[in-house]
Amino acid sequence: MSITMDYSQASEGNGDIQDGVYECVINRFGFDNFKNREFIKFDLIVRNDVPQKYQNKHIFDNQYPKKDTGAYAMGYLFMIGKKAGIPDHKKWPDLEAMLRDFAGHAIKVTVKNEEYNGKTYPHIKNWEPTSFPQLQHRWKDSGNATPMYNQQPVFGQQPQTPQPATNDPFASSGQSVDVSDDDLLF
């Protein structure tokens, strides 16, 4: 069996992601609980369709409700939605539906590792619109270059099978494509 060195497939090790800016896709979200305090846990994946370190690594972001009111900082969640390209004035029946809608959207994040109780954890310090809006991320489990939409709001469950993109102008509709020599640039 022949093997060819491929730097683009080189692993960056098992350690946490380093401080930096990463193009990601929002994989899924869930509600989790720590010491009887519920929080939202976002799961982002470093995109593999953009040349960068740590491709396919997960970055988690936890959003806790305010201690005094028990309500989530909706302005912060709206900011994430805005940066992810969710249309302004879009309506959802509840928070879970809104967060499910975030899945599959490209986003750029700034990660900073911070120490807490003697351990170092990566934290998202900044959310920005992606510099690469044409999402072609290949999902590790399926190989499909389509967004993965999580319809399961409980964290820890496997995401649903990716749904095919419907806005691909190059997708085959089952008809043959005729190309003449006059259509080619070379």
For residue range 58-99, what is the model confidence (pLDDT) as tens digits?
999 899 999 899 899 999 999 999 999 999 999 999 999 999
Distance CA 140, CA 134 (A): 18
pLDDT at 53: 92
List the structure tokens of 161: 């099978």
Mean pLDDT of 40-61: 93
What is the CATH code for 15-151? 2.40.50
Distance CA 95, CA 101 (A): 10
Select the more confidently predicted residue: 88 or 149.
Answer: 88
Mean pLDDT of 106-122: 91
pLDDT at 150: 40
Mean pLDDT of 46-51: 94
Q: Which pTM was predicted?
A: 0.69
